[in-house]
Structure 1
């Protein structure tokens, strides 16, 4: 396969750890409760694996030179780097949440500034405090970041109703993201199915794609994407279960008046979203390309975690896409999205 050298290989799903964020939340009220909930949802076996797994990857998550060497080995020219979702800390009260996001934005920008020709960054907003979202999106953009990363939902402040992505309180955030052209990277962290998934790492293997499907469905069925057609939203993990099961959503939209919150069939909105390629199955990746269109799929690795891939290009080649589609997913689509020359 001959590929034009002018198209860089771009990985849009890669993470970093920021010790300054964890230092800011250490000892704060609410942290122990949040850690207890995380333990219940994941189970002791998963947590016993997670700690050494992350520990072994600390250099890859913090050291730019190690990151660049890994990128070279994988054949990746550019990365879009986002904070580890463990930094969301959506339990935090407003003042602490603002500090967490500012530290994450500034730390990510500083990390990427060490290799500005190869690294672009995303920051954080406090999804649990919608009233702060616009200001902290602007803060991220002011640092030179390309946008922000969010989870699939957040607990409501002060015990109020959970903040879903369809929540009207987020309308100013969606409007600002659309106005500025900021990227919004949807990456779930945790799953509200709780102890039902606390064995065999189901909290991630089943929970993450479930959360993706629920969050995207909120955006579609509520009409958020109708009201903000210019949003640039990237869904991690191939959008979870939704793109390959979108026919059921279309049927509900046609058959039930209570599923008519959006203007058109739900499947039509897949072509207005972006999805990373991290689905771990070439057949599923081909179906994702069919459902969303080859212009909407971006290369993703989940670097450097164990639920990702060390060889995103190999996973893409396994899907045996037509040459043009391969080049688009490898980097052409991301280059256009990032407005790269």
Structure 2
């Protein structure tokens, strides 16, 4: 039976905070984050982070939680709060190297049960390629990317931007996993209450980002990309009928070669969708070989019992084994030891 593999688990690296804390750009970044979250949610998040810091930083605490949950392997990526997409090219490169060193060191404490992902700063495509190569050269399985990156002039680097083609080409060539995990919804203060910035904002960002990948023809030009999408892909897997209708009836919507609904089976998705009904909808949209176990450890929008929930939602033992670990093994998300 395959080992159970949780592909969506985070770490927090103090060295990243040390690199950005006193930068002149940092206060504006922190202010934007509070604007997006709202003051009440920002306060709750700060308290929850203090409570869970050990789970994010201590490999032994991580292993204890994994064992209690029946998880054999975790794929560890840095907390998206540490992306710092505003960084200039020099700082972005320093942050990438520090992230890779930190994740590698964290996983090295238990190399038989932990493997890691690096980062690639989308704002600086050349640096992103170098960061991808650096991550793989340091034993990581790929990189975590966000749904977009802000530009100094107020614009945005979208995942369909041709400037990112060298990153996609190199990732395809190297067989690297690209883990899409947004941070920061561009709806900003419209979601600043009731924790909408996360409960609504994250799925929105996923939907927009994946739509750019599909309609922008990225998956046509780079069909061997190994894209792993967090949070079950947001709203997109359940709204493909509308995308297909637009593709059929609007000439400017036909930016991809085939119907949009044919593209989810060319990506991979984690299982973090909370209900059996949503999980089965995701399996129908993407295929049983394209869904992987994910928990969002150790955040409160994650789940502490991903293996039990999978067993409850998927009674078929073969399908449960594939989602629980077999598909992750096929994607190369296992420790090398």
User: Into which bin does the TM-score normalised by the smaller protein fall?
Assistant: over 0.9
Deviation per residue, 1:104-131 (Å, 9 max, x gap): 0111011111111110100111111112
Instruction: Specify whether residues 109 and 57 from structure 1 end up closer, same or farther in structure 2 by C-alpha distance, changes over 3 A only.
Output: same
Q: Does 1:284 align with 2:278?
A: yes
Q: Does 1:63 align with 2:58?
A: yes
Contact 1:101–1:125 (CA<8 Å) still a contact in 2?
yes
Aligned match of 1:323: 317
How far apart, CA to CA, are the structure 1 residues paired with 2:295 and 2:211? Answer: 24
Aligned match of 1:144: 139
How far apart, CA to CA, are the structure 2 residues paired with 1:318 and 1:33? Answer: 45
Q: Does 1:87 align with 2:82?
A: yes
- SS of residue matched to 1:331: helix
Aligned match of 1:205: 199
Q: Does 1:263 align with 2:260?
A: no
Q: Does 1:75 align with 2:79?
A: no
- SS of residue matched to 1:271: helix
Contact 1:286–1:321 (CA<8 Å) still a contact in 2?
no
Contact 2:92–2:127 (CA<8 Å) still a contact in 1?
no
Contact 1:250–1:267 (CA<8 Å) still a contact in 2?
yes
Aligned match of 1:214: 208
How far apart, CA to CA, are the structure 1 residues paired with 2:333 and 2:11? Answer: 23
Q: TM-score, normalised by structure 1?
A: 0.96
Aligned match of 1:47: 42
What is the CA-CA distance between 1:35 and the residue it aligns to? 0.6
Aligned match of 2:292: 298
Q: TM-score, normalised by structure 2?
A: 0.98
Contact 2:9–2:297 (CA<8 Å) still a contact in 1?
yes
Task: Give 1:116's match in structure 2, choosing from 95, 99, 111.
Answer: 111
Aligned match of 2:102: 107
Unmatched segments (≥5 aa) in structure 1: none
Contact 1:235–1:276 (CA<8 Å) still a contact in 2?
yes
CA RMSD of aligned residues (A): 1.1
Aligned match of 2:187: 193
What is the CA-CA distance between 1:160 and the residue it aligns to? 5.6
How far apart, CA to CA, are the structure 2 residues paired with 1:339 and 1:190? Answer: 26
Instruction: Specify whether residues 187 and 201 from structure 1 end up closer, same or farther in structure 2 by C-alpha distance, changes over 3 A only.
Output: same
What is the CA-CA distance between 1:94 and the residue it aligns to? 1.2
Number of paired residues? 335
What is the CA-CA distance between 1:168 and the residue it aligns to? 0.6
- SS of residue matched to 2:210: helix
Q: Does 1:34 align with 2:37?
A: no
How far apart, CA to CA, are the structure 2 residues paired with 1:35 and 1:177? Answer: 31
Deviation per residue, 1:241-263 (Å, 9 max, x gap): 00011111111111111111101
Instruction: Specify whether residues 10 and 273 from structure 1 end up closer, same or farther in structure 2 by C-alpha distance, changes over 3 A only.
Output: same
- SS of residue matched to 1:36: helix
How far apart, CA to CA, are the structure 1 residues paired with 2:166 and 2:154? Answer: 19
How far apart, CA to CA, are the structure 2 residues paired with 1:273 and 1:160? Answer: 30
How far apart, CA to CA, are the structure 2 residues paired with 1:31 and 1:339? Answer: 34
Q: How does 1:208-247 map onto structure 2 within 5 Å?
A: 208-247=202-241
Task: Give 1:153's match in structure 2, choosing from 148, 151, 173.
Answer: 148
